[in-house]
Amino acid sequence: MRLKRAIVAAGLLLAFGGAAVCAEPIPREKLAADQRVCVANCTSQSFALAQCTQYCGCTFAQVAQRFTLAEYTAARAAASRNQEPSKELVYRMISISDACVAGME
């Protein structure tokens, strides 16, 4: 009976987001490197360094919390092939971007 309860509990945990908790985190080095690229791209568009630093810092802090390593890797791979990642990942990125822009106003 205890084993059956454990299996049901494990299934519920996975069904309600436990998979994200168990997922491998994105290495800080990858996030930091992409954040530096973000700041460089942003400042090249004539935005102030302080604005770019704030926006990119916010963005990659949210990415670290809301993406698994597999999702992040898939999005980066698609971008490197000039392809769009899955719609779900795009929607999450737009949500993150919107929140970070709103935090700057």
Alpha carbon distance 63, 49 (integer Å): 21
Distance separating alpha carbons of residues 74 and 51, to the nearest angstrom: 28
Contact call for residues 55 and 101 (beta carbons, < 8 A): yes
DSSP state at residue 18: I
Which pLDDT belongs to residue 14?
Answer: 33
pLDDT at 23: 75
* Rounded-to-integer distance, Cα 84 and Cα 20, Å: 23
- How many Å apart are CA 96 and CA 90, to the nearest integer? 10
pLDDT at res. 22: 55
Q: Which tokens is 1 given?
A: 């009976």
The reported pLDDT for the residue numbered 29 is 95
List the chain residues with pLDDT less than 50: 1-21
Q: Which ranges in the chain belong to alpha helices (H)?
A: 2-13, 19-22, 28-44, 49-66, 69-80, 87-102
